[in-house]
C-alpha cells in the first residue's frame, strides 16, 4: 500500500473521497452524496467537511477546479484515487480476516 504512511481514513474521509470518483463536486453535492450513499448514517457538518477538504488539498488528494462566488468545486487527484484504493483494500482485508475467523 503506497499511502499506508498516512494511516487509515476515517469514515467521513472515506466517503468524501468516494464522492469524487465519478465527477467533480462542490461542498453541498459532497454532503448530499455522503448522506444518500450512507442512508443518513454519516452526516457531514460544514466544519467537518471544510476541514477535510482543506486537509485533502494540503495532502494533494484533491484540487480546486472552479470558484463561483462562494461555491468551490473540487477534483480528485491520482494520489487521492490511490489513497482511496489503498483504504478500500485495507477494509476488504479486515472483512476477509473476520470471515476467515467465522465472525461474519
Helical axes 11-19 vs 46-58, angle rounded to 10°: 70
* 4 located within any domain: no
Q: What is the mean pLDDT of residues 65-89?
A: 97
* pLDDT above 60 (res 1): no
| Domain at 25, CATH number | 1.10.10.10
C-alpha cell at 21: 470518483
Would you tell me how many other CB atoms lie within 10 Å of the CB of residue 19? 22
Rounded to whole angstroms, the Cα distance separating 74 from 54 reads: 11
- The residue range of the domain holding 90 is 10-98
* 103 located within any domain: no
pLDDT of res. 104:
75
* 3 located within any domain: no
Average pLDDT over the chain, rounded to an integer: 94
Number of structural domains (the chain) is: 1
> Structure pTM?
0.90
Amino acid at each position: 500500500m503506497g499511502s499506508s504512511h498516512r494511516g487509515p481514513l476515517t469514515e467521513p474521509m472515506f466517503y468524501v473521497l468516494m464522492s469524487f470518483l465519478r465527477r467533480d463536486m462542490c461542498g453541498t453535492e459532497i454532503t448530499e452524496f455522503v448522506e444518500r450513499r450512507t442512508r443518513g448514517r454519516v452526516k457531514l457538518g460544514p466544519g467537518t467537511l471544510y476541514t477535510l477538504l482543506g486537509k485533502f488539498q494540503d495532502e494533494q488528494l484533491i484540487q480546486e477546479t472552479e470558484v463561483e462566488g462562494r461555491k468551490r468545486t473540487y477534483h480528485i487527484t491520482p494520489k487521492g484515487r490511490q489513497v482511496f484504493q489503498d483504504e478500500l483494500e485495507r477494509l476488504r482485508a479486515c472483512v476477509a480476516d473476520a470471515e476467515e475467523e467465522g465472525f461474519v
